[in-house]
Structures are given as C-alpha cells and as structure tokens.
Amino acid sequence: MSQLSISYQHPKYVSDIFAGSVIIDCTFPTEGFHLVTVESSKDQENWSVFQSQVVGLNLSFKVLSPSKSLFFRLTMSKQPTAINIDTIIDDTTTKEDIENVIEEKCADVAFSGKAKDVTLTAITGLVATQVQAAIAELLAKIISLGAAISYEGQVADYAHLPSSDLKKGHMYNVVAANDKIPAGTNYVWNGESWDPMTGQIDLTPFLTSTDAANTYVALDASATNAGSDIVRLLGVNSQGKAISITPKAIVEYVIKSLMDDDLLAV
C-alpha cells in the first residue's frame, strides 16, 4: 500500500493521478462530512465525476476501473491527513462489486441531484462480462421453451412445402386439400415434420342471421295455450314464407275448413 500526494488547486485539493482498480483509505483530521470525489479522464485533461463518497473521519472504498485506458484522481474540499492506495491485483468482478458500484452511483445522484454525476460507462464496462453471461442464459431458456411460430408464406399444395433451410416454428399456408386435411390448412415445422393446424372452414352452407330474419317469423308466446308447454310446428303461407303454428291454431283451422266444406254442422 502506498500514499497519494495531495496538492491544492483552487478551489479544491487534488490528488496524484492513478489508474486501474484500487482500494482507497482516506483519513481526515477532524470528524465531519467531507466529500471525496473520484474523477475520471481518458486524456488527463478533461475530467468528469466517476463516483463520490461522503467521509466522516475515515473511509475505505473501492475504485473499480472499467478500462485500462482510464485515469483517475481524487478531489476534496478539505485536506486529508493521509490517503493510502492499494492496487487490486485480481480483476475478477464479483456480484457484490457490481452492487456496490450501482449503489454508489445512485448515492451520487441522490447527493448531488444531478444525473450527469453518474458515469454510466463505468457500470457498463464493469458488468460487461456478467451481462453477456446473463443474455446467454436467457437465450438458452427461451430456446428451451420452444420456437415461436413464424409465418413464411403460402404454397399451392402439400408437395410444395420446403424441405430445407427450415427452423422449428416455420409455418406455411397450403391452398389445396391434402387427403383428409382441408384446404387452407396451416402447416408448422416441428423440427422433424410438417404438423397440420386448423384449416379454413367453409361457412356458406350455414344459415346466416340475415337469411333467418327473411325466412322465419318470430314466435308469439301469447298465442299458446296458457300453462301448457310451447309446441310449434312449421307451416308455409301462401307467399312461401315459413310461419309458426300453435296447437290451438291447428284446431281452429281444421274446424273452419270443415265448416267451409259443410262437413260440420254447427
């Protein structure tokens, strides 16, 4: 462990320049709130805030460098008694290191109220390896869930379905019927063969609501015998339109017909 020299450069105290990941031990002569700021630069001329620490009497903290080409220095409002620096030999970044840096960055924003005080590139460089590993793990999990369906186009018949350059989830619509599989069926490649899905259903033979309204008349519940089950027969009037017939209407029709033919004396 070695010491960093401090010089006064109005309006603050500035330390020597250092590089790499280090551990800083900072001690002040009196108890209080002393702001120690770590500044970073690539050219040693233009400096920006990398992280900040509020020190009481003494504090030990890490400066984890995301790049070998980055330089650092410390700035303080009051002169410390001593600043010791120790290089971190092992550059392996742990989860705890990442969490500490993120917490420090968040603390910087809370303390200064300025988002510009957070150097996001520091976090980005620090967690690059961990992010890549997390992405690889996530992709593996997605693949294990199965491929999503991807519509690839339409072919005339089953024989024209492609047999190469296929990925699980590729789907084609087949216009013609295939044996008992109806026309317009979508086929999905399951990794080994084409799996037919639901085909198109021809609804033209079915009665539509419009046709029903033009063909049938609504049932009239008041025309039925009180208290009895509603029983309907279908008849056709002189215009060829279907009508509903109640048992009472049938009896009345039969009686009227018999009377008209003089077959029933009243």
Pair of tokens at residue 9: 């450069």
How confident is the chain (266 residues) per 10-residue block, as mean pLDDT? 87 91 87 85 91 80 84 90 82 58 54 45 54 68 65 92 89 90 89 82 77 67 44 50 61 70 55
Strand partners, 233: 245
Helix, strand, coil in percent for the chain, rounding step 5: 25, 30, 40
Opening angle at CA 16, ends 10 and 20, nearest 5:
135
pLDDT of residue 32: 76
pLDDT of residue 53: 78
Measured distance CA(233)–CA(214) in Å, rounded: 18
Q: What are phi and psi of 184, to 5 degrees?
A: 80, 15
Q: Which fold has domain 2-130?
A: Jelly Rolls (2.60.120)
pLDDT of residue 129: 57
pLDDT of residue 225: 44
The domain spans of the chain are 2-130, 150-196, 209-260
Is there a contact between 36 and 26 (Cβ–Cβ < 8 Å)?
Answer: yes
Pair of tokens at residue 87: 């290089």
